[in-house]
Amino acid sequence: MDLDMNKNLIKLLGKVEVLNSSGSTMYSYDLIVDQSDGGEVYKTSNSTHYQTQVSDIRARTMHYDAKTKKVELIGGVLGVFE
């Protein structure tokens, strides 16, 4: 983990698993958490696996804004919904 308090950035290096209070899980690598401007944005340029009770989504790049609850999955996106 690399923490930059001046820029409000946290770099989680290696394999990362993020558990959300809604029950969703995100698996990725080398995740950056940007907490500047009162927000919380998760982003990575590495493969990401986003899983909920009704969906299973994989992508090459991910950008998730926890404040607005919007996720942007880019490149080779593959999803299964039940």
- 27-77 pLDDT, tens digit per residue, is 999 999 999 988 899 999 999 998 988 889 899 998 888 888 888 888 888
pTM of the shown model: 0.76
Q: What's the rounded Cα separation, in Å, for the pair 10 and 2?
A: 6
- Taking the CA of residue 77 as centre, how many other CA atoms within 13 Å lie in the half-sphere pointing to its CB? 12
Token output for 38: 């009162």
- Count of beta carbons in the 10 Å neighbourhood of residue 62: 25
Q: What is the pLDDT of residues 10-41, one digit of tens each?
A: 999 999 998 888 888 989 999 999 999 888 99
